[in-house]
Amino acid sequence: MRSHNMTKGLEKAPHRSLLHALGLTRTEMERPLIGVVNAANEVVPGHMHLDRIAEAVKAGVRAAGGTPMEVPAIAVCDGLAMNHEGMRFSLPSREIIADSVEIMATAHPFDGLVLIPNCDKCVPGMLMAALRLNIPAIVVSGGPMLAGDNNTDLNSVFEAVGKLRAGLINEDELRQVEESACPGCGSCSGMFTANTMNCLSEAVGLALPGNGTIPAVSSARIRLAKEAGMQILELIRRDLRPRQIVTEKAVRNAVACDMALGGSTNTVLHLPAVFAEAGLSLTLDIFDEVSRTTPNLCKLAPAGRHHIEDLHRAGGIPAVLAELLRKGHIDGSPLTVTGRALAENIADLNARVMDESVIHPLEQPYSPEGGIAILHGNLAPQGAVVKQSAVAPEMKRREAVARVFECEEDAMHAILDGKIKPGDVVVIRYEGPRGGPGMREMLSPTSAIAGMGLDKDVALITDGRFSGATRGAAIGHISPEAADGGPIALVEEGDIIRIDIPARRLELLVDDAVLDKRRASLRPRALKTSSPFLRRYAGQVSSAASGAVFSGGSAGTCD
């Protein structure tokens, strides 16, 4: 066993002495040592209950004959970090989480890992670590939050801010929404980034069935955690490792499931980063190729009225996968952490759609194409991303007048002050991975636009990114970003921008000669941070088009 490097042999007597100091017996040292990576904290609502999940995992490990050893992981709440300096740290935390799991699992050579994330960057960070280390590993998340009163969620509160400013609700009504929309523990209840990634952990085979949808408050979530703790011992016995599970076929399955669900646009950042750890390439072109041939079967919040609890009652991810498998949209052969192939899991569960109002049949999809579209054009030569399933039909083709802002805050003030009018396209730049730095989410401005009733008249484009809770004609990840001299840096107030989502085009309608003159006068901008960490991040991070992974390079500078 891998842990024998720490526990066996004469020269490891000092190591055993330290393990005795932990209270471990010799018998416990001789069993497989399982790293239980727990991201619990008292800041993130999705993580405040993870100690209960960890205790259940450890009970399962002990029941199956292993010795659990719990280690911590950080996690950022994107909702709490939104619309201020803290959001610059959210995406970079993904790399820190992956690195810290690698450090703990290598410095202390565990035989296997049970990874307990829940919210946004923690899930891809832990998946990256699992594939990087390639030791037996299984993911069990904390589960989704229930929807709030009147079918509300966190996005309802963000949109209520815009409604208040537009005079559509009063302060008492806003207070009622903010006090009831998030009723307890769990990842926010729509098909936002955290829940999308937890669902795709199932689809790619690294989590047990039910991981993405069993509610956080359900006793079934505790049972799932115990089963994960027991199953890691079986994976060790079989020496079944993540890279045997995450193959090219499994990657395409995950993308197809994402398109059927209408998942968060952040998956276009996270899935390439995760799969790159296994030496697998996932380009924007693959997302678009799969999207064009995979029907959109679900309209979960923010695209529709259903939440994750509804998806769970309708059969969960196994039902979605069963529907996709029925017509060959996914491959049933890849192995999963159950030790069986994906198709075997579906058959064993007798997985099927229990509510066709939540999971549409393939013959009656919401759309013949998937939830995400990749756009190209002279404004986004390397690509841009939009959740087309959450865009109003009248906004899918539009020529709009550019209103240009150098940061999110300036755009937010203009929106709330009523300076954005129907027919405008809000352009927010220098918010990319390097220029931000940190590629902030733009949920506040997109929600304000929607809350003020402008989501069918106003688009927003950015080299930053969006929350999974964003709806409307919100086009992000524009690459190259402004800080790298991308065309978005050349846009001026009053320019006309053509959006054509069905044709996958994003065009700046300005003559090339004019753009050449603007490019010649473009000057590099100083980084918008004094943080040493973010300066290092800006010097190492790659384009959003390749997942914003580290690519080396020197640290940036800051005035």
What is the tens place of the pLDDT at every residue in 501-550?
A: 999 999 999 999 999 999 999 998 888 899 999 999 999 999 999 999 99
- The CATH superfamily assigned to 377-525 is IlvD/EDD C-terminal domain-like (3.50.30.80)
CA 146 → CA 149, 217, 489, distances in Å?
Answer: 10, 8, 41
To the query of whether residue 467 is one of the catalytic residues in this protein, the response is yes
Nearest C-alpha neighbor of 273 from the set 246, 245, 298: 246
> Would the pLDDT of 175 be above 90?
yes
pLDDT per residue over 481-515, tens digit each?
Answer: 999 999 999 999 999 999 999 999 999 999 999 99
Nearest C-alpha neighbor of 141 from the set 44, 243, 69, 236: 44
Distance between CA 371 and CA 260 in Å, rounded? 7
> Would the pLDDT of 162 be above 70?
yes
Distance between CA 314 and CA 261 in Å, rounded? 13
Structure tokens of 4? 């024998």
Residue 524's SS3 state is coil
For residues 502 and 396, the answer to whether their CB atoms sit within 8 Å is yes
For residues 265 and 299, the answer to whether their CB atoms sit within 8 Å is no
> Would the pLDDT of 254 be above 50?
yes
Q: How much of the chain exceeds pLDDT 70, in percent?
A: 99
Q: Assign 83 a pLDDT band (cuts: 50, 70, 90).
A: confident
Q: Name the catalytic one among 467, 542, 543, 546.
A: 467
CA 548 → CA 52, 85, 88, 357, 434, distances in Å?
Answer: 33, 19, 13, 36, 9
> Would the pLDDT of 399 be above 90?
yes
Nearest C-alpha neighbor of 100 from the set 68, 134, 75: 75
Q: Assign 470 a pLDDT band (cuts: 50, 70, 90).
A: confident
The predicted pLDDT at position 527 comes to 86
For residues 407 and 528, the answer to whether their CB atoms sit within 8 Å is yes
The predicted pLDDT at position 469 comes to 81
The predicted pLDDT at position 559 comes to 33
Q: Assign 551 a pLDDT band (cuts: 50, 70, 90).
A: confident
Q: Where are the domains positioned within the chain?
A: 31-147+183-348, 377-525
Nearest C-alpha neighbor of 319 from the set 300, 340, 347: 347
For residues 548 and 265, the answer to whether their CB atoms sit within 8 Å is no
| Average pLDDT of the chain to the nearest whole number | 95
The predicted pLDDT at position 119 comes to 96
Nearest C-alpha neighbor of 57 from the set 230, 233, 234, 229: 229
Rounded mean pLDDT, 1-9: 96
Nearest C-alpha neighbor of 261 from the set 337, 327, 317: 317
The predicted pLDDT at position 552 comes to 47
HSE on the CB side for 381, CA within 13 Å? 10
- The residues with which 476 forms a beta bridge, in sequence order, are 385
b/e map 264-279, b = 16+ CB within 10 Å: bbbbbbbbbbbbbbbe
Distance between CA 444 and CA 228 in Å, rounded? 37
The predicted pLDDT at position 555 comes to 37
Q: What is the CATH number of domain 31-147+183-348?
A: 3.40.50.2300
CA angle 379, 380, 381 (to 5 degrees): 110
Rounded mean pLDDT, 316-343: 98
Q: Assign 553 a pLDDT band (cuts: 50, 70, 90).
A: very low
CA 173 → CA 161, 163, 164, 177, 483, distances in Å?
Answer: 11, 10, 9, 6, 41
- The residues with which 498 forms a beta bridge, in sequence order, are 399, 507
> Would the pLDDT of 157 be above 50?
yes
